[in-house]
């Protein structure tokens, strides 16, 4: 079996015998000195375990509980968190708002000059409060804002800046 590598100078594929591993050789195409790595031995390869279906199910349930809890906190009266250490999730926590979807809806509505739709998104985001502002601020501060359908990045940044201003009112 041979060792395959690419020359760092000319990028051509080089095949070297296993005995050359750990040594330097010359590229047959450009003559550049190339280090030939040693191939991994069988005992160095660590097999990847199969995903545990039960663990995946528990993780998904935890994620759902966290979303329900966050929704409950968002809708708690006077911004107080329920005194119980673990809230009862049997009660309907009210409207759960997908921050990413709401911000995307706002940006696309602004792009299409649908100001009523944009204002509705702002209204839903205002009900969330600090979390919505933090989310939008995080998007605004990213060097590369998320891409929305045919909206250039500078325009997205402008829309996010305007949204942030509306949320802080």
Other C-beta atoms closer than 10 Å to the C-beta of 61 total 10
Alpha helices in 43-114 (DSSP H): 53-74, 99-111
Q: What is the pLDDT of residue 96?
A: 66
SS3 6: strand
What number is the average pLDDT over the span 78-104?
Answer: 56
For the cut 90, the answer to whether the pLDDT of residue 142 exceeds it is: no
Give helix then strand counts, H and E, for the chain.
Answer: 5, 4
* Whole-number average pLDDT of the chain: 80
- Estimate to the nearest angstrom the gap between the alpha carbon of 97 and the chain centroid: 18
Provide the residue ranges of all domains of the chain, joining segments of one domain with +.
2-40, 58-95, 99-167
DSSP conformation class of 86: S
Q: What is the pLDDT of residue 49?
A: 82
> Which of the two residues, 79 and 71, has the higher pLDDT score?
71
Separation CA 125–CA 127 (nearest Å): 5
For residue range 3-35, what is the model confidence (pLDDT) as tens digits?
899 999 999 999 999 889 889 999 999 999 999
Q: Answer whether 7's CB lies under 8 Å from 29's CB.
A: yes
Residue 154 in tokens: 């500078």
- Estimate to the nearest angstrom the gap between the alpha carbon of 59 and the chain centroid: 17
- pLDDT band at residue 44 under the 50/70/90 scheme: low
């Amino acid at each position: 079996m041979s060792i395959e590598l690419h020359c760092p100078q000319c990028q051509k594929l080089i095949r070297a015998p296993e005995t050359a591993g750990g040594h330097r050789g010359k590229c047959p195409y450009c003559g550049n000195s190339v280090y030939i790595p040693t191939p991994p031995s069988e005992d160095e390869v660590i097999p990847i375990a199969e995903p545990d279906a039960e663990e995946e199910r528990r993780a998904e349930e935890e994620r759902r509980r966290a979303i329900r809890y966050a929704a409950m906190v968002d809708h708690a009266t006077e911004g107080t968190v329920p005194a119980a250490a673990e809230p009862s999730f049997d009660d309907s926590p009210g409207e759960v708002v997908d921050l990413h979807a709401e911000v995307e809806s706002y940006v696309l509505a602004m792009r299409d000059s649908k100001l009523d739709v944009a204002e509705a998104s702002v209204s839903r985001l205002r009900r969330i409060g600090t979390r919505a502002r933090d989310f939008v601020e995080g998007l605004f501060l990213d060097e590369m804002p998320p891409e929305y359908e045919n909206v250039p990045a500078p325009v997205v940044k402008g829309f996010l800046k305007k949204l942030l201003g509306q949320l802080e009112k």
